[in-house]
Chains A and B, each alone.
Chain A
Amino acid sequence: MGRGGSHAAPAAASPPWHALPDEVWEHAFSFLPADSDRGAAAAACRSWLRAERRSRRRLVIANCYAASPQDAVDRFPSVRAVEVKGKPHFADFGLVPPGWGAAAAPWVAAAADGWPLLEELSFKRMYVTDDCLEMIAASFRNFQVLRLVSCEGFSTSGLAAIAAGCRNVRELDLQENEIEDCSIHWLSLFPESFTSLVTLNFSCLEGDVDITVLERLVTRCRNLKTLKLNNAIPLDKLASLLRKAPQIVELGTGRFSADYHLDLFSKLAAAFAGCKSLRRLSGAWDAVPEYLPAFYCVCEGLTSLNLSYATVRGPELVKFISRCKNLQLLWVMDLIEDHGLAAVASSCNKLQELRVFPSAPFDAAEQVSLTERGLVDVSASCPMLESVLYFCRRMTNEALITIAKNRPNFTCFRLCIIEPHTPDYITHQPLDAGFSAIVESCKGLRRLSVSGLLTDRVFRSIGAHADRLEMLSIAFAGNSDLGLHYILSGCKSLKKLEIRDCPFGDKPLLANAAKLETMRSLWMSSCSLTLGACRQLARKMPRLSVEVMNDPRRACPLDSLTDESHVETLYVYRTIAGPRSDTPACVQIV
């Protein structure tokens, strides 16, 4: 295969820069940190394009419909690690019907054919079948990493194929997938000679696992660093697993229930005492507070604590978290309450990321005492805090302004006030001023979710100030088309926009059609769009795919609908692959 990099007869001591051989450029590009930088380099000239694409090893396809699998394989022939993302983000909350699409099969097939040396495959929000997993196991002789996040469509049969077929697999990372339990003892299909596992995460698996097999696997995989267990592992077995893998860095405890027994507690404490390298801890579902002190000896070393599914509350919880002085990441339920967050604020000064989830999202009656106070305290005392996801039931502009002043270094700010249209609870004003303060102060903000009572004014601020904003989520906000127009005509770096239940209509969409091609995708549901506007958009912008869905349970008979008819859900994304052919009956491409 000819290189094409010419070796010009040097008049000077070395060839002129534009005649340097490809290997030099490939080496230079290996220092570029971001794919976007590599993409920019590739656009400079043909020789750079050639050098860059042939040496690209990692590829992220952020929208599986933006390009075809064959496009990807043709353009980047030497890829070793691929990540493909499918359904839009709102699929996490049930807004995308089953059967919508995002099948992994075409990607696996193209990869099997074009990237035989593939080592890593990662799918997020896609439909992955057992056939896919079998094909993966059969096609890539050096396959090492399989990561499936929020996927569905496969069962323990598929996992068995991976276990049996991938001799060199290092990471099997299953996060929040829907996995059908076929009662296949897939774990026992890892051969006895197999010792290469570094990461094993099956926390989302609902069925039983054979504990003996798991223990043997853990014992012989001396490099195991990450182990995340599911519901099926009882507490005493957890203790014995930890004793077999004291080198563990990341642990998901799975279920932690069981009544308190002193001897069990002692076993656990002793097991944890042996885990000197433990840095990341998650799980503790159904934990009873009396067991938390068993973790005390690892608290000092913990940098990441994910208790987002743990229903434990009270002083034991706060005491435990307060001992984790080196915490950088904390995910917790709102059961921690304001006073608990105040303790976190004073103890965990290295905190970078905080997420607080609602323990009773649908039950307005059962209220925990978690308000804007908790967030204000943490923002005030944790100088490195840059990423927040916070569910609460009340907020004030003053609190937001204070937070903005204290933390101009936010890169991600997602606030969800649970009841739609909730105003400032003291002044009863919209929360425009508060969110405006956030975007004006946090110049590096990349992700923002707004909530509460908001008028078009806040969108004017966001459009004008949020220059680095890449993802924006809006729900039950705004009062007219202007709101959407401000966003689409501003927000220079916007990539993903998702909107639901806002009074935004056709005009701003059509007026800013060109903007949509600079973005990855736009989702609008329960807004004020008409089919006519969608048709116009599709005509005007051939490189956008305009998908319309009205009732997820019924076929969408576009041809019989008039221009004036209401569009319930619009999903628009740029693509070089043309309209997809795998839409279910309820989705139509305009």
Chain B
Amino acid sequence: MELELGLAPPNTRPPAAGVVACGKRTFGEAFVKATLPLFVRDGDGDDDDDGARDGVDLHTDNKRKRLVGWPPVKSAHRRSSGGAYVKVKMEGVAIGRKVDVSLHGSYDELLRTLARMFPSGGAGGAEDEAAVTGQHEGRRRGPPYVVTYEDGEGDWLLVGDVPWEAFAKTVKRLKILA
């Protein structure tokens, strides 16, 4: 499987520009708006770091390399400290993840991290579906996923509407809808 990231530019545009050119109809198209943030799960091409969990982000440029579990503060403390760990849940997956939004500089980076966190094994149904529907050009993809987030006021919104900085300040948690 290969990664297809589709993210509409922050300013609203008519559908055509923003939709991932995957060439097949998916349920995501029913919701197609310019701001629909999509990512399609990858194989594990990205998994070439040292195998540490998301606490170590060797791939982010210019960010301080962070040690896993150091300093020894509980995750609740991390949240209130301004290191912006937010929970990520994917529909249908029992065990969620946590991602530090402040370590990312853009939506692209965040979506890449999310794609890596929820690899093909995470939501088995999608993998089967890809196998069943077959694919073109030897590239297999699952259906695109919709990424939503909860803001400071408790509302659930689609990721991608507001500038990254505004999003990073207000995001409380993420949910990936299958």
Judge whether A93 and B69 touch: CB under 8 Å: yes
In the complex, A358 Cα to B74 Cα: how many Å?
11
Beta-carbon nearest neighbor of B76 in chain A: A176
Judge whether B83 and A363 touch: CB under 8 Å: yes
Interface of B, secondary structure class, is: loop
Inter-chain contacts of B66 with A (CB < 8 A): 362
Judge whether A361 and B74 touch: CB under 8 Å: no
Q: Does A561 contact B (CB under 8 A)?
A: no
Select B69's contact among A90, A176, A204, beta carbons within 8 Å. Answer: A90
Select A309's contact among B53, B64, B70, B76, beta carbons within 8 Å. Answer: B76
Inter-chain contacts of B68 with A (CB < 8 A): 93-95
Inter-chain contacts of A420 with B (CB < 8 A): 67, 70
In the complex, A287 Cα to B81 Cα: how many Å?
14
Chain B, range 51-90, C-beta contacts under 8 Å to A: 51, 53, 55, 64, 66-78, 80-83
Give the size range of A's interface with the partner. Answer: 35 or more
Q: Does A418 contact B (CB under 8 A)?
A: yes
Judge whether B53 and A94 touch: CB under 8 Å: yes
Inter-chain contacts of B72 with A (CB < 8 A): 90, 92-93, 416, 473, 475
Judge whether B71 and A391 touch: CB under 8 Å: yes
In the complex, A552 Cα to B47 Cα: how many Å?
13
Inter-chain contacts of A563 with B (CB < 8 A): none
Inter-chain contacts of B77 with A (CB < 8 A): 308-309, 357-358, 361
Judge whether B75 and A94 touch: CB under 8 Å: yes
Most chain A CB neighbours (cut-off 10 Å) among B64, B72, B74: B72
Select B95's contact among A99, A285, A357, A362, beta carbons within 8 Å. Answer: A99
Residues of B in contact (CB 8 Å), total 22
In the complex, A285 Cα to B79 Cα: how many Å?
12
Inter-chain contacts of B53 with A (CB < 8 A): 94, 97, 552-553
Q: State whether A554 and B81 are in contact (beta carbons under 8 Å apart), knowing that A95-B69, A391-B71 are contacts in the complex.
A: no
Judge whether A94 and B83 touch: CB under 8 Å: no
Q: State whether A93 and B82 are in contact (beta carbons under 8 Å apart), knowing that A357-B77, A551-B51 are contacts in the complex.
A: no
In the complex, A391 Cα to B77 Cα: how many Å?
13
In the complex, A176 Cα to B79 Cα: how many Å?
13
In the complex, A359 Cα to B68 Cα: how many Å?
18
In the complex, A176 Cα to B77 Cα: how many Å?
11
Q: Does A9 contact B (CB under 8 A)?
A: no
Inter-chain contacts of B78 with A (CB < 8 A): 361-362
Judge whether A359 and B81 touch: CB under 8 Å: yes
In the complex, A99 Cα to B94 Cα: how many Å?
11
Interface membership of chain B positions 1-41, coded 1 if the CB is closer than 8 angstroms to chain A and 0 otherwise = 00000000000000000000000000000000000000000
Select B71's contact among A98, A285, A418, A552, beta carbons within 8 Å. Answer: A418
Inter-chain contacts of A90 with B (CB < 8 A): 69, 72
Judge whether A176 and B74 touch: CB under 8 Å: yes
Judge whether A358 and B81 touch: CB under 8 Å: yes
In the complex, A29 Cα to B43 Cα: how many Å?
62
Select A311's contact among B55, B64, B80, B83, beta carbons within 8 Å. Answer: B80
In the complex, A553 Cα to B121 Cα: how many Å?
12
Chain B residues at the A interface, C-beta cutoff of 8 Å: 51, 53, 55, 64, 66-78, 80-83, 95
Give 28 CB contacts A-B under 8 Å: A90-B69, A93-B74, A94-B55, A94-B68, A94-B75, A95-B69, A97-B53, A99-B95, A308-B77, A309-B80, A357-B73, A358-B77, A358-B81, A359-B81, A359-B82, A361-B77, A362-B83, A363-B83, A364-B64, A366-B82, A391-B71, A416-B71, A418-B71, A420-B67, A475-B70, A475-B72, A500-B69, A551-B51
Which 7 A-B pairs rank lowest in CB-CB distance, beginning with the nearest? A93-B69, A551-B51, A362-B83, A95-B69, A94-B69, A98-B95, A361-B71
